[in-house]
Amino acid sequence: MKIILKIARAELKYLFYSPIAWFVVFIFYLTSAAIYCIGTEQFSTVQEVFKELQPGWDGFEGVGKELSAYIMIRLKKYIYLFIPLLTMGIINREISNGTIKLLYSSPVTTREIVLGKYLGMVIFNFILLFIFAVMLASLVMTVENAEYIWFLSILLGMFFLINTYAAIGLFISCLTSYQIVAAIITFTVLFFLSVISSYGQQYDIIRDLTWFLSIAGKAELMIYGLITSRDVIYFILVIILFIGFALIRMKSTQESKKWTVPASKYLLLTVVVVILGYFSSRPHAVLYADITKDKLNTIHPNVQETLKKMDGSMLTVTLYTNLLDRNAINGLPIMRNDYVWNIWEKYRRFYPNLQMKYEYYYDVRDKDSAYFRMYPGKSLEEIAAIEAKINRTPLSLFKKPDEIRKEIDLQPEGKFLIMQLEYKGKKEFLRTYREQPIWPTQSHFAAVFKKLASNEDMKIGFVTGHYERSAFDYAPRHFGEFMAAKWSRQSMINFGAEIDSVQLNSGPVPEDINLLVVADPRSAYTDLEQERVIDYIRKGRNAIIYVEPDKQFILEPILRSIGVSADKGMIVRPDPHEMPHIFENHLTSAGNYLADEQYMYNFQKYRKNGGKVQNEGASSLNYQETEGFRIEPILTMPGSENTWVENGKLALDSAAPDFNASEGDLRKSEYVLALKLSRKIGQREQRIIVCGDADALSGRRKSLSTTGVSFYSWGLANEYPVYANYPRPSDRYVKLTSKQAKLLSTVYLYLASAALLLVAIVLLVRRKRK
């Protein structure tokens, strides 16, 4: 060990007195400082603009994460440029100078020479790491509440990356006696390893090989604060591999043996490393450490709970990719690694018994002529051949329409890119979406996991037969987009609920309905139909009832049975910029606790934001607790001189209405627009919501609402959706103004660079004099 340390010290001494080494340090510092300063200036400038334009601006969503990722990802692109200059002479310098013979003749082993040289490089690399640590330390000081522990993961990733490159450079230095040639070869190899992951991805064998060889990509997770045993072991194995190669090469130059001897050693070492790498990367063997404060690299605890309900049996995921879907590229072999590692890896971590399958086909929906209009005169097979060529994928990979239709009926799913999950014989679809990002969120994954593990479905039933708002109609006044739309990432069907219709004239409400929705009927119910709804409620079952102005009388008997009534007329609030029956209202505190929609979650945790809706013609509700119900307003509107319940004739496209008490107009101190009712029935809680405005949650106004599907979630006892909200990042502001950021840039880019350059010159001049 003493000899290894002596060789390392000698190597360090040489490096510190080498112009090339100081050049690398200087350029690396300048690159790091420039990236850091540019990022800091950009964020400080944006922050000032937002604060000026929006006085209540709430900061960035994790500025420390964004800045550190900005710096590291850019620096990672250039780091391979510096290493060849350091390693190009580490071994061949001894060969070209003839000093290698002295080393061989001295009591020093080849292993000590190689390890000593590499140790010297590792210690020198700590200087580069220190420079980067200075940038991260500056980041900690310039960002409020920065997560400094997170930055340790970044440094670890950087450490492994640099030293892996150094091990490769060490081996290449053994192959030639010319330093420039070694530098060029090292640069070429490292560049190749940096970009290789983007080549040959459409071929299975090449894709897996290039992913394994992509060294830079292995540091990605560490940049974002996730350390895995798979990545750490990978770097260690690659370092051992190339140091081993260097030892074999050095030994072979001292021995006169057939070329097959070193070749067999190379092969044996490679096989051992590959086998160890394979077993260390098996899902069951990987250990994870998410060192971010809020565990941002780990699926939400609520999602983890859904996986715990599964018993470990095989979960098979089949990805169906239609070549003629506009999102087909995301499912093709060229994107396989992105699909496996970026989409599914975080779930595999908690459920390793996962099998991935892939089915490729081409087909169009019935009566869909879009492609035939795009390619006039072409058959479907000819169209598919053109699209396959565009996507650089052989047509032979894709099954024909008749072949895929024999296996599965994807017509109801629109023949889009879709996943089917199978668990213990039960199958559920996990859908992708038209807008970016196309992949489902954690809530969508959790909904499918939960349904697979459950023996019962949660079903929402919409009453039909009297022109009610529909769960299957996508017109603006209906609820289809947020209920049964398979293509919408916000719809309840994709959050785990089943959607059905209920005909009251055909019999009692079915027993499998978990939540009954009576949405703004336009014609009167018969006595029998009303009684069936009332009987449903008496049995302690959950419901949502939407009331609309001028039709309150239709639902009056049902509302009366639960202690609720609706004032005649419509609430108006004249506004010079909007029609008098359209206005925005916020949920009450009780309303914000209905569910964990993002804005409502922020209210619960931070007393910020909260849910809001835009009303379009609302009824004012009254209530009196009866039948054991506890009633709380969840949506209210404050009273004012300019707000009243209009009972006279209201012309929305004419002059603003005036308050007229003689026509029955009514002013209140507060207008209740929605109520929640709850009571204990045995071991469960009955939940009912009455809303005086169906438009607020319809397709027309829903996009202006921040309540999401909270009403339905509460009505389903919060079983679905499975919310996955993370705490707000605490690092929301940059401490520097744009002027201060520019001053810091001057210090780092000019003064500090000049000081570093001066130190290098002084040392090199003194060395030259000696």
Cis amide leading into 262 (omega within 30): no
What is the predicted pLDDT for the residue at 436? 85
Q: Is 335 within 8 Å of 393 (Cβ atoms)? A: no
Reported as a pLDDT band with limits 50, 70 and 90, residue 95 is: low
In tens, the pLDDT along 344-362 reads 999 999 999 999 999 999 9
CB atoms within 10 A of CB 301: 9
Asked if pLDDT for residue 215 goes beyond 90, the answer is no
Closest among 289, 148, 159 to 227, alpha carbons compared: 289
Reported as a pLDDT band with limits 50, 70 and 90, residue 57 is: confident
Provide mean pLDDT across the span 580-593. Answer: 94
Structure-model confidence comparison of residues 62 and 675, the more confident one: 675
Which of 73-77, 311-315, 398-402, 737-741 shows the lowest mean pLDDT across its residues? 73-77
What is the predicted pLDDT for the residue at 197? 64
In tens, the pLDDT along 661-708 reads 888 889 999 999 999 999 999 888 999 999 999 999 998 888 789 999
In tens, the pLDDT along 275-296 reads 888 888 887 888 999 998 889 9
Provide mean pLDDT across the span 114-142. Answer: 88
Provide mean pLDDT across the span 54-76. Answer: 82
Strand partners, 543: 516, 688
Give the pairing of strands 288-290 and 226-228.
Answer: antiparallel
What is the predicted pLDDT for the residue at 463? 97
Provide mean pLDDT across the span 198-223. Answer: 72
Asked if pLDDT for residue 103 goes beyond 70, the answer is no
Q: Provide the greatest CA pair distance for the chain.
A: 116
Residue 719 and residue 722: Cα distance in Å, rounded? 7
What is the predicted pLDDT for the residue at 5? 86
In tens, the pLDDT along 7-47 reads 888 888 887 777 888 888 888 899 889 988 998 999 999 99
Residue 704 and residue 409: Cα distance in Å, rounded? 36
What is the predicted pLDDT for the residue at 395? 93
Give the pairing of strands 621-623 and 564-566.
Answer: antiparallel
- The overall average pLDDT reported for the chain is 89
Q: Strand (E) positions, 559-665?
A: 564-566, 570-572, 582-586, 612-616, 621-623, 630-638, 644-646
625: Cα separation from own chain's centroid = 44
Residue 325 and residue 363: Cα distance in Å, rounded? 9
What is the predicted pLDDT for the residue at 506? 92
Reported as a pLDDT band with limits 50, 70 and 90, residue 270 is: confident
Provide mean pLDDT across the span 398-427. Answer: 94
Asked if pLDDT for residue 202 goes beyond 70, the answer is no
Which of 254-268, 424-438, 525-539 shows the lowest mean pLDDT across its residues? 254-268
Which segment, 56-65, 155-164, 596-605, is predicted with the most confidence on average? Answer: 596-605
Closest among 501, 503, 483 to 493, alpha carbons compared: 483
Domains in the chain: ranges and CATH: 2-292+738-769 (no CATH), 301-448 (no CATH), 459-715 (3.40.50)
Reported as a pLDDT band with limits 50, 70 and 90, residue 770 is: low
Share of residues in the chain with pLDDT > 70 (%): 95
| Token pair belonging to 28 | 């690396």
In tens, the pLDDT along 622-650 reads 999 998 999 999 999 999 999 999 998 87
Structure-model confidence comparison of residues 543 and 250, the more confident one: 543
In tens, the pLDDT along 360-406 reads 999 998 888 889 889 998 999 999 999 999 988 899 999 999 999 99
Q: Which parts of 255-327 fold into alpha helices (H)?
A: 260-280, 301-308
What is the predicted pLDDT for the residue at 650? 79
Reported as a pLDDT band with limits 50, 70 and 90, residue 191 is: confident
CB atoms within 10 A of CB 379: 10
∠365-370-371 over CA atoms, to 5°? 90
Answering whether pTM is above 0.85, one says: yes
Reported as a pLDDT band with limits 50, 70 and 90, residue 503 is: very high
Cis amide leading into 412 (omega within 30): no
Provide mean pLDDT across the span 320-328. Answer: 94
What is the predicted pLDDT for the residue at 209? 67
For 41-55, b/e burial (b = at least 16 CB within 10 A) is bebbeebbeeeeeee
Provide mean pLDDT across the span 57-65. Answer: 85
What is the predicted pLDDT for the residue at 205? 66
Provide mean pLDDT across the span 729-738. Answer: 89
